[in-house]
Structure 1
Amino acid sequence: MRRSRVLGVSVLVVMAVVGAYVTADAYDVVPGLVTLAPAPAPARPFPTAPGAVAPAPVAAPLAALPAAAPVPSDARLGALAQALAADPRTGGSVGVLVADQLTGAVEAAIEPDVARTAASTTKLLTATAALGRLDHARTLETRVVRESADQIVLVGGGDMMLAAGAGRPDAVNGRAGLGDLAQQVARALTLAGTTTVRLAYDDHLFTGNAVNPGWASSDVTNGYVAPVTGLAVDIGRTRDAEDAPRSTTPSLDAARTLAKELEADGITVTGTPARVVATSGATTLGTVRSASIAEIVDYVLHESDNTITEVLGRLVALDEGLPASFGGAAAAVLEALREDGLDITGTHLDGASGLSHGTHVAPALLVATLRLVTDPSHPRLRGVAVDLPISGLSGTLADRFTTSSARGFVRAKTGSLTSVTSLAGTVQDADGRLLVFAVIADHVPVTGEDAARQAVDEFVTQLTGCGCRD
Structure 2
Amino acid sequence: MARHDRLVMLATLAVLQVLTVVTGVYAMTTDFSLGALTRQTSPTEPTASPPEGSPPPAPVVTSGPVLAQLSVKSGGGPLPTKGTLTRQLTDALGDEALGKRVGAVVLDAATGERIFAAGADTPITPASTTKIVTCVAALASLGPDARLSTRVVQGASPDAVVLVGGGDPLLAGPSARQGGYPKQASLATLASRTAAALKARNVKKVTLTYDTSLYTGPATAPGWKPGYIPEGNVAPVHALAIDEGRQNPRSNTPRLSDPPAHAAAAFARLLRGKGVTVAKSVRPGKAPAGAAELGRVDSAPVYALVEHTLTHSDNDLAEALARHVAIKEGQPASFDGGTKAIIAVLQRLGAAQGVALSDASGLSIRNRISAAALAKLVAMAGSPASPGLHAVASGMPIAGFSGTLGNGRRFTGRDSRGQVGLVRAKTGTLNNVNTLAGLATTKDGRLVTFAFLADQVPVNAEPVLDRLAAIVARS
Pairwise same-fold verdict (TM > 0.5) = yes
What is the aligned residue count? 395
Q: Secondary structure at the match of 1:141?
A: strand
Determine the C-alpha separation between the residues in 2 that align with 1:330 and 1:358: 12
Q: Which amino acid aligns with 1:341?
A: G
Identity of aligned residues (%): 39
Determine the C-alpha separation between the residues in 2 that align with 1:442 and 1:176: 37
Q: Which amino acid aligns with 2:291?
A: A
Cα offset for 1:193? 3.4
Cα offset for 1:231? 1.7
Structure 1 match to 2:411: 401
1:392 aligns with 2:434: no
Structure 2 match to 1:294: 303
Determine the C-alpha separation between the residues in 1 that align with 2:199 and 2:78: 77
Determine the C-alpha separation between the residues in 2 that align with 1:304 and 1:154: 29
Cα offset for 1:186? 2.1
Contact 2:182 2:304 in 1 (8 A): no
Determine the C-alpha separation between the residues in 2 that align with 1:263 and 1:70: 66
Cα offset for 1:174? 6.0
Structure 1 match to 2:431: 418
Aligned pairs (5 A) from 1:247-396: 247-342=256-351, 344-396=352-404
Contact 1:143 1:155 in 2 (8 A): yes
Q: Which amino acid aligns with 1:287?
A: R
Determine the C-alpha separation between the residues in 1 that align with 2:78 and 2:427: 33
Structure 1 match to 2:51: none
Q: Which amino acid aligns with 2:169?
A: M
Cα offset for 1:227? 1.3
Determine the C-alpha separation between the residues in 2 that align with 1:222 and 1:136: 32
Structure 2 match to 1:203: 212
In terms of mean alpha carbon deviation, does 370-379 or 395-404 score higher? 395-404
Q: 1:284 to 1:105 in 2, by over 3 A?
A: closer
Q: Which amino acid aligns with 1:265?
A: K
1:434 aligns with 2:447: yes
Cα offset for 1:243? 2.7
Structure 2 match to 1:94: 102
Q: Which one has more relative contact order, counting CA pairs under 8 Å at least 6 apart?
A: 2
Q: Which amino acid aligns with 1:338?
A: Q
Q: Which amino acid aligns with 1:95?
A: G
1:85 aligns with 2:93: yes
Determine the C-alpha separation between the residues in 2 that align with 1:179 and 1:346: 44
Q: Which amino acid aligns with 1:293?
A: V
Deviating 4+ runs (over 6 angstroms):
166-169
Residue deviations 1:157-186 (CA, integer Å, cap 9, x gap): 111111123998854566221112212222
Q: 1:324 to 1:230 in 2, by over 3 A?
A: same
Q: 1:405 to 1:328 in 2, by over 3 A?
A: same
Cα offset for 1:280? 1.2
Determine the C-alpha separation between the residues in 2 that align with 1:265 and 1:401: 50
Q: 1:173 to 1:234 in 2, by over 3 A?
A: farther
Determine the C-alpha separation between the residues in 1 that align with 2:281 and 2:312: 34
TM-score when normalising by structure 1: 0.80
Q: Secondary structure at the match of 2:241?
A: strand
Structure 2 match to 1:234: 243
Q: Unpaired runs of 5+ in structure 1?
A: 1-61
Q: Secondary structure at the match of 1:312?
A: helix
Q: Secondary structure at the match of 2:445?
A: coil
Structure 2 match to 1:463: 472
Contact 1:122 1:352 in 2 (8 A): yes
Determine the C-alpha separation between the residues in 2 that align with 1:104 and 1:428: 15
Q: Which amino acid aligns with 1:258?
A: F
Residue deviations 1:265-290 (CA, integer Å, cap 9, x gap): 12222233211111012222211111
Q: 1:191 to 1:386 in 2, by over 3 A?
A: closer
2:222 counterpart (210, 213, 224)? 213
Q: Secondary structure at the match of 2:299?
A: strand
In terms of mean alpha carbon deviation, does 122-131 or 98-107 score higher? 98-107
1:130 counterpart (138, 144, 160)? 138
Q: Secondary structure at the match of 1:223?
A: coil
Determine the C-alpha separation between the residues in 2 that align with 1:206 and 1:179: 23
Residue deviations 1:189-239 (CA, integer Å, cap 9, x gap): 334333322211001111111111321111111111111111211111111
Cα offset for 1:72? 3.0
Determine the C-alpha separation between the residues in 2 that align with 1:465 and 1:284: 56
Q: Which amino acid aligns with 2:132?
A: L
1:114 aligns with 2:122: yes
Determine the C-alpha separation between the residues in 1 that align with 2:90 and 2:346: 30
Q: Secondary structure at the match of 1:116?
A: coil
Q: Secondary structure at the match of 1:331?
A: helix
Q: Secondary structure at the match of 1:405?
A: helix
Aligned pairs (5 A) from 1:159-198: 159-165=168-174, 170-172=179-181, 175-198=184-207
- Greater radius of gyration (CA): 1
Residue deviations 1:122-164 (CA, integer Å, cap 9, x gap): 1111111111111322221111112124321101111111112
Determine the C-alpha separation between the residues in 1 that align with 2:294 and 2:348: 41
Contact 1:421 1:442 in 2 (8 A): yes
In terms of mean alpha carbon deviation, does 166-175 or 409-418 score higher? 166-175
Q: Which amino acid aligns with 2:433?
A: V
Determine the C-alpha separation between the residues in 2 that align with 1:155 and 1:70: 55
Please give the root-mean-square deviation of Cα atoms over the aligned residues, in Å. Answer: 2.1
Residue deviations 1:3-28 (CA, integer Å, cap 9, x gap): xxxxxxxxxxxxxxxxxxxxxxxxxx
Contact 2:79 2:108 in 1 (8 A): no
